[in-house]
Structure 1
Amino acid sequence: MTSEHQTLALLLFSAFVVLTLAITRWASRSRHGSPEEFYAGGRLFSPLENGFAISGDYMSAASFLGIAGLIALYGYDGMLYSVGFLVAWLVVLLLVAELVRNCGRFTLADVVAARLKERRVRMVAGVSSVTVSVLYLVAQMVGAGSLVALLLGATGTGQRSWAMVGVGALMVVYVVFGGMRATTWIQIVKAVLLMGGALALTVMVLIRFHGNLNELLNTAADRSGHGADFLAPGLRYGHDVVSRLDFISLGLALVLGTAGLPHILSRFYTVPTAKSARRSVVWAIGLIGSFYLMTIVLGFGAAAVLGSASVRADSASGNTALPNLSLALGGGAGSTGGTILFAIVAAVAFATILAVVAGITLASSASVAHDLYASLRRRHARQRWSEVQVARGAAVGIGAVSIALALLARDQNVAFLVGLAFAVAASANLPVLLYSLFWRRFTERGAVWSVVGGLAGALLLVVFSPVVSGGAEAVFSSVDFHFFPLENPGLVSIPFGFLCGWLGTVLSPQPADAARHAETEVRALTGAGAV
């Protein structure tokens, strides 16, 4: 990169950082310090505003950087991420959005505790939510490191590490001083920028190939090094039985994981009613669907314009395919158009990462304060700090842990890392959520077993998978202690989470409280008594 690239790109996303810090300052002046204001922004957002915020919260570095890179490297198989991320919202719309808004107050544990004894359930649900959030944050940190390293022309691990530290520090500022109100407006601004940037690049790719999608796909196949196989299933997931199972496992994780993500569930508490929550999801589906259609064009565009070999040479994981595509579309290295377009894409990608990590950090710190700390406070009455104070402190600790883990996974594709977080969410959070909402016999033991079994099962399978050891692209490539053959654990861990919940319920010494379930059911379906 030339110094002009670096200077302009730094100026653009420095302007975004200044804008978001101004939003945070405004939000900090308007808040009252109550948990409802800090966690839910006072529940004052409209469905349209919340729909944009959901989109900004959901369309992460995995979407903007990772998916385009995977499609550029693997063609048809890379599109699974685009399809899976979008289809998942139908599950959220039909099964989760309204019921969660009616039953809960701030977190996933609120929904489960509405009909079960609170302390044990809150503790395990809180631990699960924090774990999923940290895994998701790791992917965003890796994306930040790749982006800033490309921007500054830094190839050493030290520069990427400082980039991750910088993003972590900013997200802590957003959460600590602005809470949900600032985070929401940052996500809205980011969603507008991301949709605009993706649309501009998509139009430029289509213009380059005269609006002929057939020409675009054929050129991508020719320059991929795989020929017609690039446009057919099997390049990444179809060469043997294990890879086919991995394909199914990843699909399950992507489709079912969204409904168990803590930072997505927390967005339903920022609107006043369940009807508003449903309308928010409808707006989000429209925005997210449009975006993921564009990522398909951008991924194949990167393969056609740059060539898969060039994408892989610059970044083995494909994370830099989209910034390099913008440089080529603008006229190439050293050109004014290329410099401007690259700077805009770099700024949008950086905005994407900052907005998403702020939302995830807020959700996880809320789980620490509202679920873990509040449960301990009820048991030990003498606690000197308020929930909001604990949440702010938790944001700092969660940021530090996420940065440390991201340094270990810095060479992994960000979309792939997000796939792992989705698998853990679908294994640990989704079973207990659906059982609590729909199964009359569900008990406290079933809830605890479901969360612990799904969480422990998913994490153990990841640790002993090829992702961590046993391969050239593994986190610890020099050792091999894996025995689980699949890269994504969802095919095994998701059914295991549901099985643990069922088994814990049927083995419970006491039956479920029928009256409390009936009360929760009425509240979930009608909104009577909802906060």
Structure 2
Amino acid sequence: MVDLLAADDTVGSPAINISIFGAFVLVTLYITFKASRNNTSAADYYAAGRNITGTQNGLAIAGDYLSAASFLGIAGAIAVYGYDGFLYSIGFLVAWLVALLLVAELMRNTARFTMADVLAFRMRQGPVRTAAAISTLAVSLFYLLAQMAGAGGLVALLLGVSGDLAEALVVTLVGALMIFYVLVGGMRGTTYVQMIKAALLIAGALVMTVWVMAKYGFNLSSLLGGAVDSAGSESVLNPGARYGLSDTSKLDFISLALALVLGTAGLPHVLMRFYTVPTAKDARRSVVWAIWLIGIFYLFSLVIGYGAGALVGADAILTAPGGVNSAAPLLAFELGGTVLLGIIAGVAFATILAVVAGLTITASASFAHDVYASVIKKGNVPPNGEVKVARITAVVIGAVSIGLGILALQAALNIAFLVALAFAVAASANLPTILYTLFWKKFTTQGALWSIYGGLIICIGLIIFSPVVSGAEGAMFPGVDIAWFPLNNPGLVSIPASFFLGWLGTQLSRDKPDEAKWAELEVRAFTGIGAEKAVQH
């Protein structure tokens, strides 16, 4: 997943692209309006009334998880790097086994609306909820920043607009739509948008996959042979094209893999989806559906990536507007001309809207529920007061993400860096605390705070002093050199450090664990007994 930069020339027909964008926006706006009629309480706004089925939620999770960076970036990485590009797909998919086995059902049984409900269950509410909210906002903001910058680059490229002002207007439009979906539709409207987006994305990928395979007689070996012929080398079929050039790059791959595999189970916007289903069984079913849908999509991406490498060529992709991320659009144009390109562009745009809407409602819910209602007001909130604060927060977060997205786009910040940072923060700050809370009886408030803040600070600190920010070609600030940490992703260091700090903070803590609360948590998490009563409270 790499950065998506604005281009001076256009791919395809702007008129067709605009028409497809507009059709998607009109359909989703109508659905959002219909969904808004049922938003009468916090449970409706945050968790869609908890009446989303497991199958529907699995489709929505797939829509929430498969971002534009995944769709465009993975196809491009496979087209250019071959085998090593597909490793992204493997990491993203395997991560769902961690979510299924360790967190999905337990989180659904324990929490009401947010990740902090679980972390603060048997701890001191104020400090733990505040720490969890800060971590949630950090993950969401970096993820939002990546998607907004990607939206600006993609839409500017496909609509034929150029210049800082035009790109800023595109980012502002995407942000305004995102805010509207969240304000009006809440989680229910966002869920339906994500379901539509997932269906469109998988259908579009299926069409391209069948089309590519048909060109090679539905013979995968022939397709791979075409990719080898285009590249002029069998390196695209062998590991090492990107992550085997040196010992540092091998360590960097291990670090990235840790962040991707462990980060998914700690992503707040993914965890929040488990609270929209009525039972723990539906939570498990939704993850199983998500695994199948995401796995199928990544198999499609393998064919699309190698198809782009074979039919378009790595050199043409790298020199095209948008660089590596242009692989899927260029392949669509090669296969079906302007119409197929417009459809794929529309799907990518839908992808961005769905993901940013999910991130925004998660961040706004975290502040309103965890900070405003639980810490500031200590539970004394007037009817619908929490939802009003969540909506105000959504506007603020949307405005901030628009501003930062414009800066990131114009400064050509690397989107892969921002997405990887979001996963690394989730894996470093959130997951260790979640696992300790659910499985370690002696875990204390001090341990939770050390784990969250320690993982967050170490992760972001190492990123700042890494080659991604300075001291290397393609860095954010190539003219500056403050890099002393050799890896692009800090997961190899920050994730074990967070686990260690959680253990150390607990060992040095003077607090005694609340055994009654631990017993209640254990029973509720593993059996679901008492969960429905807590949800209705």
Correspondence for 1:519? 520
TM-aligned CA deviation for residue 504 of structure 1: 0.5
Amino acid at match of 2:449: V
Correspondence for 1:138? 145
Q: 1:22 to 1:510 in 2, by over 3 A?
A: same
Map 1:283-432; keep pairs closer than 5 Å: 283-315=289-321, 317-330=323-336, 338-378=337-377, 386-410=385-409, 411=412, 414-432=415-433
8 Å contact 2:129–2:375 — kept in the other structure? Answer: no
Map 1:15-30; keep pairs closer than 5 Å: 15-30=23-38
Q: 1:271 to 1:339 in 2, by over 3 A?
A: same
Deviations 1:370-400 (A, max 9, x none): 1121234235969998211111111122223
8 Å contact 2:266–2:431 — kept in the other structure? Answer: yes
Map 1:503-514; keep pairs closer than 5 Å: 503-514=504-515
2:131 equivalent among 108, 124, 133 = 124
TM-aligned CA deviation for residue 195 of structure 1: 0.8
Q: 1:3 to 1:491 in 2, by over 3 A?
A: closer
Q: Distance between the aligned counterparts of 2:334 and 2:179, measured in 1?
A: 35
Map 1:25-44; keep pairs closer than 5 Å: 25-32=33-40, 34-44=41-51
Deviations 1:221-241 (A, max 9, x none): 33236x122221111111111
2:111 equivalent among 75, 100, 104 = 104
Structure 1 residue matching 2:377: 3-state secondary structure: helix
Correspondence for 2:444? 443
Q: Distance between the aligned counterparts of 2:58 and 2:142, measured in 1?
A: 24
Amino acid at match of 1:63: S
TM-aligned CA deviation for residue 472 of structure 1: 2.7
8 Å contact 2:57–2:286 — kept in the other structure? Answer: yes
Q: Distance between the aligned counterparts of 2:80 and 2:50, measured in 1?
A: 43
Deviations 1:116-135 (A, max 9, x none): 11111000001001100111
Structure 2 residue matching 1:30: 3-state secondary structure: coil
Amino acid at match of 2:64: D
Q: Distance between the aligned counterparts of 2:417 and 2:308, measured in 1?
A: 18
Correspondence for 1:57? 64
Deviations 1:351-377 (A, max 9, x none): 111011101111111111111212342
Q: Distance between the aligned counterparts of 1:236 and 1:408, measured in 2?
A: 29
TM-aligned CA deviation for residue 208 of structure 1: 1.5
Q: 1:113 to 1:380 in 2, by over 3 A?
A: closer
2:98 equivalent among 80, 91, 116 = 91
Map 1:201-350; keep pairs closer than 5 Å: 201-224=208-231, 227-315=233-321, 317-330=323-336, 338-350=337-349
Q: 1:161 to 1:222 in 2, by over 3 A?
A: farther
Correspondence for 2:206? 199
Structure 2 residue matching 1:115: 3-state secondary structure: coil
8 Å contact 1:65–1:322 — kept in the other structure? Answer: yes
8 Å contact 2:114–2:272 — kept in the other structure? Answer: yes
8 Å contact 2:450–2:505 — kept in the other structure? Answer: yes
Q: 1:453 to 1:164 in 2, by over 3 A?
A: same
Structure 2 residue matching 1:236: 3-state secondary structure: coil
Moved more, 228-237 or 312-321: 312-321
8 Å contact 1:61–1:414 — kept in the other structure? Answer: no
Q: Distance between the aligned counterparts of 1:23 and 1:129, measured in 2?
A: 28
Q: 1:233 to 1:316 in 2, by over 3 A?
A: farther
- List runs of 5+ in structure 2 lacking aligned partners: 1-8
Q: CA RMSD in A?
A: 1.9
Structure 2 residue matching 1:235: 3-state secondary structure: coil
8 Å contact 2:175–2:402 — kept in the other structure? Answer: yes
Amino acid at match of 1:445: Q
- List runs of 5+ in structure 1 lacking aligned partners: 331-337
1:7 equivalent among 6, 15, 26 = 15
8 Å contact 1:67–1:415 — kept in the other structure? Answer: no
TM norm structure 1: 0.95
8 Å contact 1:409–1:475 — kept in the other structure? Answer: no
Moved more, 315-324 or 44-53: 315-324
Amino acid at match of 1:23: I
2:175 corresponds to 1:182: no
Structure 2 residue matching 1:465: 3-state secondary structure: coil
8 Å contact 2:12–2:333 — kept in the other structure? Answer: no
Q: Distance between the aligned counterparts of 1:71 and 1:417, measured in 2?
A: 20
TM-aligned CA deviation for residue 158 of structure 1: 3.5
8 Å contact 1:139–1:406 — kept in the other structure? Answer: yes
Amino acid at match of 2:347: V
TM-aligned CA deviation for residue 219 of structure 1: 2.3
Correspondence for 2:78? 71
8 Å contact 1:237–1:244 — kept in the other structure? Answer: yes
Moved more, 429-438 or 396-405: 396-405
Q: How many residues align?
A: 522
Amino acid at match of 2:13: H
Deviations 1:200-235 (A, max 9, x none): 00111111222222222232233236x122221111
